[in-house]
Chains A and B, each alone.
Chain A
Amino acid sequence: MLSLIVFLPIIAGLIILAVPSSQKQIIRIVSLLAALGQGVLAVLIWRQYDPTMAGIVAASGGSPFGSFQMIEKIPWISLDLGSFGPLNIEYFLGVDGISITMVLLTALISAIGVLSSWTIQKQVKGYFILYNLLATAMMGCFVALDFFLFYVFWELMLLPMYFLIGIWGGPNREYAAIKFFLYTLFGSVFMLLVMIGLYFSVIDPLTGHHTFSLVAMADQANYIKGAILGPDSVTWRYAAFIVLFVGFAIKVPMFPFHTWLPDAHVEAPTPISVILAGVLLKLGTYGMMRINFPLFPEVFQAGMYVIGVFGAINIIYGAFCALAQQDLKKMVAYSSISHMGYVLLGLAAANSEGMLGALYQMFNHGTITAMLFLLVGVIYDRAHSRQIDKFGGLASYMPVYTGFVTVAWFASLGLPGLSGFISEAFVFVGAFREEVTRPIAIVSVLGIVFGAAYLLWSLQRMFLGKRKPDALYDLEVDAHGHEHIHFHDWKGKLDLDARELTMLIPLGIIVIALGIYPMPVMGLLTTSINKLVQVLAPVAMSAVH
Chain B
Amino acid sequence: MMHSLIQLSIAVLLLPLLSFVVLIFFNRRLPRGGDFVGLGLLGTSLAISLYIFWNVIVQHYDPAFSVAWNFTWLDFGNVPGVGPLQIKMGIVIDNLTAIMLAMVNLISFLVHLYSTGYMHGEKYYGRFFAYLGIFTFSMFGIVLSDNLFSIYIFWELVGLSSYLLIGFYFHKDSAADAQKKAFLTNRIGDIGMWLGILILYSQFHTFGYQEIFDHIKNGDFHMSQAWLTAAGVLLFMGCVGKSAQFPLHVWLPDAMEGPTPVSALIHAATMVAAGVYFVGRIFVILTPDALHVIAFIGAFTAFMAATIAITQHDIKRVLAYSTVSQLGYMVLGLGVGAYSAALFHLLTHAFFKACLFLGSGAIIHAMHHEQDMRWMGGLYKKMPWTFATFMTATLALAGLPLTSGFLSKDAILAGALGFASVEGGGIFYLIPALGFGAAVLTAFYMGRQIWLVFFGESRTHLKPAEEHGHDAHAAHGHDDHHHEVHEVAWNMRLPLVVLATLSVFIVFSPDPLDGGKGWFMHLIQTPATVVASTGAAHEGAGLHVPEAGKLLAEAHTDTQHVEAAASHEAEGHGPVFADPRQAEIAHMTHENHYTAIKLSSIMVVIGIGMALIFYVFRFIDPDKTAQAIRPLYLYSFNKWYWDEIYDATFIKGSILISKILAWFDTNIVDGIVNGVATIFRKFAFANGSFDKYVVDGLVNFTAFTVQTTGAVFRKVQTGKVQTYLVMVVVAVLGYFAFYLVHLMK
Contact segment of A23-31, A460-468, A495-503: A460-468
Contacts of B78 in A (CB 8 A): 530
Q: Contacts of A351 on B, CB cut-off 8 Å?
A: 79-81
Q: How far apart are B459's CB and chain A's nearest CB, in angstroms?
A: 32
- B659-691, CB under 8 A of A: which get 1 and which 0? 101100100011011000100000000000000
| Contact status A182-B677, CB under 8 Å | yes
Judge if A416 is at the interface, Cβ distance under 8 Å: yes
In chain A, positions 413-436 with a C-beta closer than 8 Å to chain B are 415-417, 421, 425, 428-429, 432-433
Contact A452 B187 (CB under 8 A): yes
* Cβ contact within 8 Å between A446 and B191: yes
Which of B82, B160, B183 meets A352, CB within 8 Å?
B82
A196 at the interface (CB under 8 A from B): no
| A-contacting residues, B268-321, CB 8 Å | none
Contact mask B56-84 → A, CB, 8 Å, 1/0? 00000000000000000111111111100
Taking residues whose C-beta sits less than 8 angstroms from the other chain, chain B's interface range is 35 or more
Decide: B187 and A353 in contact? CB cutoff 8 A. no
Contact pick for B658, options A323, A356, A456, CB 8 Å: A323
A453 touches B79 (CB 8 A): no
Q: Does A148 contact B (CB under 8 A)?
A: no
Residues A415 and B156 in contact, CB atoms below 8 Å apart:
yes
> Given A410-B160, A526-B77, do A464 and B202 touch, yes or no (CB 8 Å)?
no
Find out whether the CB atom of B171 lies under 8 angstroms from the CB atom of A393: yes
Determine whether the beta carbon of B76 is less than 8 Å from that of A453.
no
With A428-B194, A465-B171 as contacts: A527 and B77 at CB distance below 8 Å: yes
* Residue contact A429 to B80, C-beta cutoff 8 Å: no
Contact among B75, B171, B173, B194 with A526 in the assembled complex (CB-CB below 8 Å): B75
- Return chain B residues, CB-CB under 8 Å to A421: 153, 156
How far in angstroms is the closest Cβ of chain A from B162? 13
- Central interface residue in A324, A356, A450, A522, by most chain B CB within 10 Å: A324
Chain A residues lying within 8 Å of B190, measured Cβ to Cβ, are: 448
Q: Does A475 contact B (CB under 8 A)?
A: no
The answer, yes or no, to whether A449 is at the interface (CB within 8 Å) is yes
Which of these, B194, B659, B673, contacts A448 with CB under 8 Å? Answer: B194
> How distant is the Cα of A523 from the Cα of B74 in the complex, in angstroms?
8
What is the CA–CA distance of A356 and B188 in the complex, to the nearest angstrom?
A: 26
Q: How many A-B residue pairs have CB under 8 A?
A: 141
CB <8 Å contact, B184 and A445: no
A323 contact set on B, CB distance < 8 A: 654-655, 658, 662
Residue B176 at the chain A interface, CB threshold 8 Å: yes
Q: A353-B76, A519-B75 are in contact. Are A465 and B170 (CB under 8 A)?
A: yes
Contacts of A452 in B (CB 8 A): 183-184, 187
Q: Does the CB pair A432–B160 fall under 8 Å?
A: no
A258 to B610 alpha-carbon distance, docked (Å): 65
Pairwise interchain contact A320-B661, C-beta atoms closer than 8 A: yes
Contact A456 B156 (CB under 8 A): no
Contacting pair A321 B74 (CB below 8 A):
no
Q: Which of A522-544 contact B (CB under 8 A)?
A: 522-523, 526-527, 530, 533-534, 537
Tell yes or no: A441 within 8 A of B by CB: yes
User: Contacts A259-B673, A352-B80, A415-B156 given: A432-B665 contact, CB under 8 Å?
Assistant: no
In-complex Cβ contact of A321 among B177, B191, B661 (8 A):
B661
Residues of A within 8 A of B157 (CB): 415-417
Smallest CB–CB gap between A378 and chain B, Å? 20
User: What 1/0 mask marks residues of chain A from 175 to 210 whose CB sits below 8 Å from any chain B CB?
Assistant: 000010011000000000000000000000000000
B189-205 Cβ-contact flags toward A at 8 Å (1 or 0): 01100110011011000
Q: Determine whether A457 belongs to the interface, using a CB cutoff of 8 Å to chain B.
A: yes
**B523 proximal to A (CB < 8 A):** no
A395 within 8 A of B: yes
Bound CA span A389–B177, Å: 16
- B180, A352: Cβ atoms closer than 8 Å: no
B673 contact set on A, CB distance < 8 A: 179, 183, 259-260
Tell which of B75, B156, B175 touches A416, judged by Cβ atoms closer than 8 Å: B156
Q: Are A456 and B184 in contact (CB under 8 A)?
A: yes
Cα–Cα distance between A351 and B202 once the two chains are bound (Å): 12
Cβ-based interface call for B47 (8 A):
no
Nearest CB of chain A from residue B34's CB, rounded to whole Å? 16
Residues of chain A lying within 8 A (CB to CB) of residue B79:
351-353, 530, 533
Q: Given the complex of chains A and B, what is the CA–CA distance between A193 and B695 in angstroms?
A: 30
A433 touching B677 by the CB < 8 A rule?
Answer: no
| Cβ of A317 under 8 Å from chain B | yes
Looking across the interface, which residue of chain A has its beta carbon closest to that of B186? A452
* Mask: chain B, 9-27; 1 = CB below 8 Å from A; 0 = not: 0000000000000000000
Given contact pairs A353-B76, A465-B176, A448 touches B171 in the complex (Cβ within 8 A): no
Q: Is A256 an interface residue (CB 8 A)?
A: yes
Which residue of the partner chain B has the closest CB to A52? Answer: B77
Instruction: Let me know if A442 is at the binding interface, CB within 8 A.
Output: yes
Number of residues in A with C-beta < 8 Å to the partner?
59
Cβ of A396 within 8 Å of any chain B Cβ, yes or no, is yes
Which A residues touch B183, using CB under 8 A?
Answer: 452, 456
Residue numbers in B under 8 Å from A64 (CB-CB): none
Of the candidates A259, A260, A352, the one whose C-beta lies within 8 Å of that of B85 is A352
Do B171 and A442 have beta carbons less than 8 Å apart? no
Q: Which of A410, A456, A527 has the most C-beta atoms of chain B within 10 angstroms of its own C-beta?
A: A456
CB of B571 to closest CB in A, whole Å: 45
**B167 within 8 Å of A by Cβ?**
yes
Residues of A within 8 A of B167 (CB): 464
B716 on the interface (CB 8 Å rule)?
no
Write out the residue numbers on chain B whose beta carbons fall within 8 Å of the beta carbon of A450. Answer: 654
A179 to B672, CA, bound (A): 13
Tell me whether A37 is interfacial, beta carbon within 8 Å. no
Check if A464 sits within 8 Å of B153, measured CB to CB.
no
- For the complex, is A325 an interface residue (Cβ under 8 Å from B)? yes
A508 at interface, CB cutoff 8 A? no
* CB-based contact B669/A259 at 8 Å: yes
> Contact between B80 and A537 (Cβ–Cβ < 8 Å)?
yes
Q: Is A518 engaged at the interface, CB distance under 8 Å to the other chain?
A: yes
**B658 contacts A464, C-beta separation under 8 Å:** no
Is B657 interfacial (CB-CB < 8 Å)?
A: yes
CB pair B201–A432 under 8 Å, yes or no, is yes
In contact, B198 and A428 (Cβ under 8 angstroms): yes
- With A352-B85, A441-B198, A523-B75 known as contacts, the answer to whether A320 contacts B184 (CB < 8 A) is no
Considering only residues 538-595 of chain B, those with a C-beta below 8 Å from chain A are none
Q: Is B202 touching A526 in the complex (CB atoms < 8 A)?
A: no
Q: Fill in one digit per residue for A372-403: 1 if any B CB lies within 8 Å of its CB, else 0.
A: 00000000000000000000010110000000
Query: Given the complex of chains A and B, what is the CA–CA distance between A448 and B152 in angstroms?
Result: 14
Q: A466 to B201, Cβ gap below 8 A?
A: no
CA A161 to CA B127, docked complex, whole Å: 44
Most buried by B among A320, A428, A445: A320
Q: Is B661 a contact partner of A522 (Cβ separation < 8 A)?
A: no
B187 close to A449 (CB less than 8 A)? yes
Residues of A within 8 A of B669 (CB): 255-256, 258-259
Q: How far is the CA of A408 from the CA of B684 in the complex (A)?
A: 45
Whether B180 contacts A396 by the Cβ 8 Å rule is no
Query: In this complex, what residue of A is CB-closest to B207?
Result: A429
Minimal beta-carbon separation of B84 from chain A (angstroms):
10
Closest chain B residue, CB of each to CB of A410: B160
Name B's A-contacting residues (CB within 8 A): 73-82, 85, 149, 152-157, 160, 167, 170-173, 175-177, 180, 183-184, 187-188, 190-191, 194-195, 198-199, 201-202, 654-655, 657-659, 661-662, 665, 669-670, 672-673, 677
| Interchain Cβ contacts under 8 Å between A and B, 23 examples | A183-B673, A259-B673, A317-B661, A317-B665, A320-B658, A323-B654, A352-B76, A353-B79, A395-B171, A416-B152, A416-B156, A421-B153, A425-B149, A428-B194, A441-B198, A449-B184, A460-B177, A519-B73, A522-B74, A523-B75, A530-B80, A533-B79, A534-B80
- Pairs A-B, 8 closest by C-beta atoms: A324-B662, A416-B153, A464-B176, A323-B658, A259-B670, A432-B198, A526-B77, A324-B658
For the A-B complex with A352-B85, A445-B195, A465-B170 known, give 14 more contacts whose Cβ atoms are closer than 8 Å: A182-B677, A321-B665, A415-B156, A416-B157, A417-B157, A442-B195, A448-B190, A448-B191, A453-B654, A456-B180, A460-B176, A530-B77, A530-B79, A530-B80
